[in-house]
């Protein structure tokens, strides 16, 4: 069965600084990988997804993520964060014919 680990419960960065949120997955084959964001009082929103092909995927709001099979990782990055990026970020893994499993999340705090 697939599983997802997000090692960092909280991350704090200064506005304008770069960001990297870590995600490690466990899955027997090539997984489908996702990053979702949950802002206070709002539903989960898809940032980006990886199915196949180019291992560097671009998402909305200036986010990108890189799939590294050798490290079983799918880390989320942004070159310069904005105060509005403060939210909870969830990595998820799925399969073509199976459910999508979410990690426990990383809460991002932005310092002015």
Partner 1 sequence: GAGVSQSPRYKVAKRGQDVALRCDPISGHVSLFWYQQALGQGPEFLTYFQNEAQLDKSGLPSDRFFAERPEGSVSTLKIQRTQQEDSAVYLCASSLGRVGNEKLFFGSGTQLSVL
Tell me if 96 contacts partner 1 by CB under 8 A: yes
Tell me if 22 contacts partner 1 by CB under 8 A: no
Tell me if 99 contacts partner 1 by CB under 8 A: yes
CA atoms 101, 70, 9, 43: torsion sign:
negative
**CA-based angle 87:37:70, to the nearest 5?**
115
CB 16 to partner 1: min, Å: 28
Q: Compute the distance between CA of residue 48 and CA of residue 109 in angstroms, rounded to an integer.
A: 20
Instruction: Name the site residues for partner 1 (rule: CB under 8 A).
Output: 6, 32, 34, 36, 42-46, 49, 51, 90, 94-105
């Amino acid at each position: 069965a697939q599983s997802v680990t997000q090692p960092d419960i909280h991350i704090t960065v200064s506005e304008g600084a770069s960001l990297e949120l870590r995600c490690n997955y466990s899955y027997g084959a090539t997984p489908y990988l996702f990053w979702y964001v949950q802002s206070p009082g709002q539903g989960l929103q898809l940032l980006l997804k990886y199915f196949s092909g180019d291992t560097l995927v671009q998402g909305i709001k200036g986010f990108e993520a890189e799939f590294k099979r050798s490290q079983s990782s799918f880390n989320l990055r942004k070159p310069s964060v904005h105060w509005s990026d403060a939210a909870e970020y969830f990595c998820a893994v799925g399969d073509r014919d199976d459910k999508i499993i979410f990690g426990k999340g990383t809460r991002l705090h932005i310092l002015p």
